[in-house]
Structure formats: C-alpha cells, structure tokens
Structure 1
Amino acid sequence: MADPLLDDVGALLREAAAKVVVPLFRRLDPADISEKAPGEVVTVADREAEALISEGLRRLRPGSAVVGEEAVAADPDLLRHLRGSGDVWLVDPVDGTSNFAAGRRPFAVMAALLTDGVPVASWVYDPLEGTMAATRLGAGALLDGTLVRPARSAPAAGALRGTAATKFLPPELRRQVEDGGRRIGELLPGQHCAGREYLDMLTGGQQFLLFWRTLPWDHTPGTLLVREAGGVARRFDGADYHPADEGRGLLVAASPEIWDEVHAALLGS
C-alpha cells in the first residue's frame, strides 16, 4: 500500500537531486566551493538543494520546523528544535560534500522527520545509483520499494564486514579499533558518505558501521532505517542513539548479536 508521506518526500529529494545536485556534479567552479569550518567545505549545491528541500517540507507539513545542515552552520540555535514538540525535519542536502566537491562518488541526499523528538520517518537517496531507502517508524525499511528482511543469523566476528571511520577517533581509541580489526573479517576505511554506508547495510554489503562524530543529519535517517530492518544503533556504552544527544561514538549493526560481536572485537568489551 502506498504511503503518501514516503512518496512525497522521496519525490522532493529526487527533484532536488535532479534540478540542483547532479547538474553541478563535476561542474563546480572554484567560486562554488567554500570552507564553512576548518577542513569542512560547502558548495552552492548544498545551499540551493537545502533551500529547495526545506521549502517543500514546510509545504508538506505547515508549521513544521526544518533543521538543515547548512542552516545550522549559520544558526546553531536551530538544534534546539530536536528536543522540542511537534514536527521537525532534519535535512542533509548533500551528504558526502567532500566527495561531491572533489568530483568523486558517492554522495547522498537525506531527510528525517521527528515528532515530539522521536524519529518517525526517514529517507536516504543516492542520486547517481538511483537508490532510495525510506521508512516509517514501525513499518519496516524499504529499499527501492522492497521491504528489507532482518538478518537471520549473526556470523562470527571473523566473517563480518563493515566500516570503521577512524579519521576522527582519538589516537588511542583509533589504535584499539585498528588492532581489533584483525579479528573482523574485513574492516573497511569508509566512503566519506554516511548515507551510502547505511544503504550498503540495507543491501547486506556490510554488517556494521563505526563512527566517532555523530551529527544528527548524518545519522538520524540511516539509524532509523537500520533499526526498522532489525538492526541497532548504540553509543559505545550501549545507550541507544538519539539525534539530540551531543555525545561521541556510534556503533550500528544489522542485529543486536552482531553489535555485541563487533563491540567486543573493536572496543574490547
């Protein structure tokens, strides 16, 4: 049965990608790229896509708040909405901006809806692959319209494959994770695009993800999708991830059993 909200927001993300993002891929002028923080770039595509998506989301839910990555860069106080009441949209107009600005793939367009602080719907779209994942809380995760089946069993650590984004880990923890990677079947360095990593979890291409930085627009869409597909998203201490949390460290796995296996291998407990 069709879900109008999933369809409408999915169409909006596709429109932003088709009108703004993809036409600028590998066609950016130097003036189209700037640094919004040390080591973090933003492009004209990020800003224009966020404006288009934000306007469309407000039309879909009049009175809702929009917390976009680029809007927060200009006004960090917008993050207060994540603990507020009512409907709040999270928007990442170009996830993987460093890839996009350098003319590399992958990158994604992402959104999530929170109601009274609880993530209730999310979308991750890879415009170059044409892959769309979407979910409603309690309804399961859809990948290109097909329900994602939960993992049936938990392989031993030596058979697992997943990403550890170690770049931002504190040095001692980075060494621990890299050493623990020897007990994992394959420890991947990451694609610099959280959205693509979450899509690869839904396809079964990898069974876990480990991150240090957990900005809400990067992880709220994907963690809801993984949870709806039978997985878990927890802080390193085992607490469930919430987009308003300001902590560091996130381990996402295709099942609770896989989370335990990876946590023991990489984090030593």
Structure 2
Amino acid sequence: MALANILRDASRQESLPRFRRLDASMVQTKTEAIDLVTEADIATENVIKSRVAAWMPQALFVGEESMAADPALLPRLANADLAIVVDPIDGTANYAAGLPLFACMAAVVSGGQTVAGIIYDPMGDDWVMAEKGSGAWLRRPNGEAVRLHVAAPLPLAEMVGMASVAYMPRESRPTVLQNTDKVRLLSNFRCAGHEYRTLVSGHGQFLCYNKLMPWDHLAGVLIAQEAGAYAARLDGQPYLPSHVDGGLLVAMNRDAWDELRREVFVF
C-alpha cells in the first residue's frame, strides 16, 4: 500500500490536473504518431521516482520516461536485486486525446522475478494489485478490498478479449485478424492497464500482445496470474522481466491459452 499510495499521490498531483488541459506544446511524439509523451507523463514519473528514492533508496528505478532518457537502465533490470518498474501514464494517447481511459502502474522485481504489481485508475480512484502468492485484489482508498478472479471457462466462439495487432509482424496481421472471427468480440483499449483490469475482474477471457516493454506488462501479468489466469510468451515459455519481445498471451486457463494460440494467434 505504500507504493500504491505513491502512485495515487503522484497522479492526483500531476496527471489529473493536466487532464483535458494540455496544449500542443505539452505533447511530443517519440517514435511514431501513436507513441506520445506528455508533460504530465514526465512530471508524474518524477514525483514517483523522488518518492521511491526516499522510501526505498536501494531499489533500481526503471520508469518508461527515465528509460527513454537512459536506455542503459533496461538491461540492468534482469539482474537487479530489487527494482521498481513504473509507467506513469499508461494509455498516453488516450490521455492526450481527453479519453478517461489511462492508468498508473508499478511492478516490484526481485532477483529476476515480478513479486508485486499495482494498477491504479486515477479516474476511478482505486487499485488492482497483487503480491506473489497472495491473490489479486481490488482495493479502494477507504480500505475496502475485494478478491479478484478471472471468468469461468467459455467456448472459443463465446470468448471476449483484447489484443493489439499494431505491433504484430505485418505479414501475420491478415491471418490473425481473420482468425479473430472465431471469437465473439475483440477489442483494444490502447491501455494495457485497463485491459488487465478488465480480465482480472472477470469481464474478458484473453489478452494478446507482441511488444513487451516491462512497464506495460509486469504488473498486469502477475495480477492476472494471481487471479487464476495462465500467461506465457507465444513460444510457451514463461514471461520474465527481461523479455521485450516474443509475444505474450494471457487467458483464463491453460486450455483456453492452448486453443487461442492454435486457432487465433498464429504468427
């Protein structure tokens, strides 16, 4: 909860006051038109970084914006004794467009394994979180806590899920898009944090991604696993903090994962 409150305080101090109040000078393009950074991303991460340094000075801090400024941070994550990985505003494109679908996320990594994860929703003012081996929980500032579980199994034709095809191999996209006709509904919120929240709250059956930056997925994968989901890279190997490629599929159980990998996400 100490880390959870740091995310909340930073969001309330920096990102919420700027929401729908950005002008063009406050938004920059990083690698392409759909990859943005705003003044709020940088300010929110700076507050989190400062608070984490005071609270846990021995931890390696790996923030999305810090890594953009110093790419050498990312390789250090795999061997860090203790690291805090942060996405100050997940869903920046939504945030910049004035859409209230963005999140603030953090994961705790120890010895190459994710041991805790938090996804804070600044608009709803609550967290989903997990510590390894302790289940997944929805927590509210008043102290209320609700245990989270993934949905019950469904046939492939009835599954609802979320996937981003934007970073899939170009030659594979037509096949994957055609294969999604086999499921009931495919969505993309452009915010991994809210996609993970949807899954662990029992309102979807799967997620699939190809680009794997740790601040986007470490927290969500641990929370999903603690809620009962099965997660692995597309080659079937476990997903680890050091991975930045290889694809990721998260499903309500192993049988669903196998079926989705065989029938839908073929690339």
Partner of 1:66: 61
Pairing of 1:1-269 with structure 2 (within 5 A): 7-39=1-33, 40-144=35-139, 145-151=145-151, 153-188=152-187, 190-268=188-266
Q: CA RMSD in A?
A: 1.5
Counterparts of 1:119 and 1:246, CA distance in 2? 15
> Which sections of structure 1, spanning at least 5 residues, go unmatched?
1-6
Q: What per-residue deviation string (whole Å, max 9, x for no partner) do you get for residues 210-254 of structure 1?
A: 111111100011001001111122111111111211323111112
Q: What per-residue deviation string (whole Å, max 9, x for no partner) do you get for residues 181-207 of structure 1?
A: 11112122x011000000000111111
Local SS of the residue matching 1:23: helix
Counterparts of 2:132 and 2:54, CA distance in 1? 22
Local SS of the residue matching 2:7: helix
Counterparts of 1:37 and 1:175, CA distance in 2? 24
Moved more, 139-148 or 194-203: 139-148
Question: Shift in Å at residue 268 of structure 1?
Answer: 4.7
> Which sections of structure 2, spanning at least 5 residues, go unmatched?
140-144
Question: Shift in Å at residue 150 of structure 1?
Answer: 4.8
Counterparts of 1:45 and 1:54, CA distance in 2? 14
Contact 2:78 2:241 (C-alpha < 8 Å) held by counterparts: no
Question: Shift in Å at residue 172 of structure 1?
Answer: 2.5
Q: How many residues align?
A: 261
Counterparts of 1:214 and 1:232, CA distance in 2? 17
One-letter amino acid of the structure 2 residue matched with residue 85 of structure 1: A
Contact 1:143 1:202 (C-alpha < 8 Å) held by counterparts: no
Counterparts of 1:95 and 1:264, CA distance in 2? 30
**Identity of aligned pairs, percent?**
36
Moved more, 193-202 or 125-134: 125-134
Counterparts of 2:5 and 2:61, CA distance in 1? 18
Question: Shift in Å at residue 171 of structure 1?
Answer: 2.5
Contact 2:4 2:118 (C-alpha < 8 Å) held by counterparts: yes
User: 4+ residue runs of structure 1 moved beyond 3 angstroms?
Assistant: none
Contact 2:150 2:202 (C-alpha < 8 Å) held by counterparts: no
Counterparts of 2:83 and 2:159, CA distance in 1? 36
Counterparts of 1:268 and 1:10, CA distance in 2? 37
Question: Which TM-score applies when normalising by structure 2?
Answer: 0.93
